[in-house]
A and B are shown apart, each in its own frame.
Chain A
Amino acid sequence: EVQLVESGGGLVQPGGSLRLSCAASGFTFSSYDMHWVRQATGKGLEWVSAIGTAGDTYYPGSVKGRFTISRENAKNSLYLQMNSLRAGDTAVYYCAREGDYGEFDYWGQGTLVTVSS
């Protein structure tokens, strides 16, 4: 059974940093592109970052230069290093596996990040 379990969320002050983790199991982690998607309370889904099987990374303009996605295949783990956090980064952060046709076929349960003083 495919499982994705996020951790590392919490309360952080503006300008602070946080590192999210996503533990994957039930599939060959190294063979899949992985993503982070966030959702502010009452708002829609927003793509945050992606990492390919070769380690290539992608970001939208809203987080580029502040967030860094990485993976450790030996540990079946995905990470998101978030620096210079802003109130607007407050959201539930999901990790998701990308299937063969660009779809996100499996999602974690999410971890809440709150940026506030």
Chain B
Amino acid sequence: QSALTQPASVSGSPGQSITISCTGTSSDVGGYNYVSWYQQHPGKAPKLMIYEVSNRPSGVSNRFSGSKSGNTASLTISGLQAEDEADYYCSSYTSSSPVVFGGGTKLTVL
């Protein structure tokens, strides 16, 4: 199972919005609504930010939103803040394994 494709890096200024894409196939992202997004700060464990494509766990800011179109899922962060600077990973259920992760995207807040 190949990793989902994410851009290596994205950047934005405080207050701006950014979107991170996560591209898979019809056997994973396109075939199921079990897409999740995780935030990871250096030296820390990943933190769940979005599940089931667009749902936010309790306690996650509504500045984080998720969507999906075809084989590509997206994470949008609006009103960028300095603390949003982190690595972001998508994941999806797949037809051949319980999960596959994206390669990760480093978000820099300028």
Q: Which residues of A contact B (CB under 8 A)?
A: 33, 35, 37, 44-47, 50, 58, 60, 94, 98-99, 101-105, 107-110
A-B contact pairs, 10 of them (CB 8 A): A45-B101, A47-B97, A94-B46, A101-B36, A101-B52, A102-B32, A104-B48, A104-B99, A107-B45, A107-B46
Tell yes or no: B31 within 8 A of A by CB: no
Q: Residue among B47, B48, B57, B102 with the most chain A CB within 10 A?
A: B48
The bracket for how many chain B residues form the interface is 20 to 34
- B52 contacts which chain A residues (CB < 8 A)? 101-103
Q: Please determine whether A44 and B99 come into contact, CB atoms closer than 8 angstroms.
A: no
| Interface of A: prevailing SS | strand
For window 1-48 of B, CB contacts with A under 8 Å fall at 1, 3, 32-34, 36, 38, 45-48
Residues from chain A with a CB closer than 8 A to the CB of B103 are 44
| Of the residues A46, A58, A105, A110, contact of B57 by C-beta under 8 Å | A105
- Whether the Cβ atoms of A46 and B51 lie closer than 8 Å is no
Chain B interface residues (CB < 8 Å from chain A)? 1, 3, 32-34, 36, 38, 45-48, 51-52, 55, 57, 89, 91-93, 97-104
Q: B101–A44 contact, CB under 8 A?
A: yes
Complex Cα distance, B1 from A50, in Å, reads 15
Contact A102 B98 (CB under 8 A): yes
Q: Which of B51, B57, B93, B104 contacts A44 (CB 8 A)?
A: B104
B56 to chain A, nearest CB (A): 11
Q: A102 to B104, alpha carbons, bound, how many Å?
A: 18
Beyond contacts A44-B103, A109-B45: 6 other A-B pairs, Cβ-Cβ < 8 A, are A44-B3, A50-B98, A101-B34, A102-B52, A102-B98, A103-B52
CB pair B101–A47 under 8 Å, yes or no, is yes
Q: Which of A37, A45, A94 has the most CB of B within 10 A?
A: A45
Smallest CB gap from B87: residue in A? A44
In the bound complex, do residue A47 and residue B99 qualify as a contact, i.e. CB atoms below 8 Å apart?
yes
* CB of A28, distance to nearest CB on chain B (Å): 19
The residues of A that contact B57 with a CB separation of less than 8 Å are 105
